[in-house]
Every structure is written in structure tokens, then in C-alpha cells.
């Protein structure tokens, strides 16, 4: 039986994190709490390594931090809605809608 990529439990609203690192941490914790990430620190390392390669901000206020990781047990998307916005490096400003995409290695 397949599990959905996201559920209501994987939505964080409002996401009150003030920076990219803490926003990713909060969304990743949500995945770990749901049993979709088996090792939170190792998964965060994998996400950070991917973020170091290229900014994941898209025009229109969207952030899409993501990675493939052996610590992902279920393909998942955690969603954060940030009223204040978080800088993910998009040329037009901060992200208000953030999708943390966790894919198995």
C-alpha cells in the first residue's frame, strides 16, 4: 500500500521560522515526527549539502528545498506557509510557500 506524498499532518501553518535553516529544520522535524525520516540530523545534513549546490527559491514566493537521502523511509513533501517569508535565494524575494521534498536515495 502506498502512502500519500503529503498529509494534513505534514503542513506547518503558520511557519514562523525566520531563516532558511530553521525553516528546513522545522519541516524536517515534522517529517521525522511522522516516521518518514529515520535520522533527522543525517537527513538535515543531506538537505544542507543540496542547498549548498544551488538556491532553491523560485519566483512567485516559493521555496523548494529538497534532497535524496537514505534516511527517507517514505517519499514525502512537508509544506510550510510563512506569512513573513523566508529567503531561499529567489530573485524576486522571500518564499511564503515552502515545500520540503524528501526522496529516498
Catalytic residue numbers? Answer: 66
Q: Report yes or no: 37 and 71 within 8 Å, Cβ to Cβ.
A: yes
- Quick one: angle between helices 40-53 and 20-33, nearest 10? 140
Amino acid at each position: 500500500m502506498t502512502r500519500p506524498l503529503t498529509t494534513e499532518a505534514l503542513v506547518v501553518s503558520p511557519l514562523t521560522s525566520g531563516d532558511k535553516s530553521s525553516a528546513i529544520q522545522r519541516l524536517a522535524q515534522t517529517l521525522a515526527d511522522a516516521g518518514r525520516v529515520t535520522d533527522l540530523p543525517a537527513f538535515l545534513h543531506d538537505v544542507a549539502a543540496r542547498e549548498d549546490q544551488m538556491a532553491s527559491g523560485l519566483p512567485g514566493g516559493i521555496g523548494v528545498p529538497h534532497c535524496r537521502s537514505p534516511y527517507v523511509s517514505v517519499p514525502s513533501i512537508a509544506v510550510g506557509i510563512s506569512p513573513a517569508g523566508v529567503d531561499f535565494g529567489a530573485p524576486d524575494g522571500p518564499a511564503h510557500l515552502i515545500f520540503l521534498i524528501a526522496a529516498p536515495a
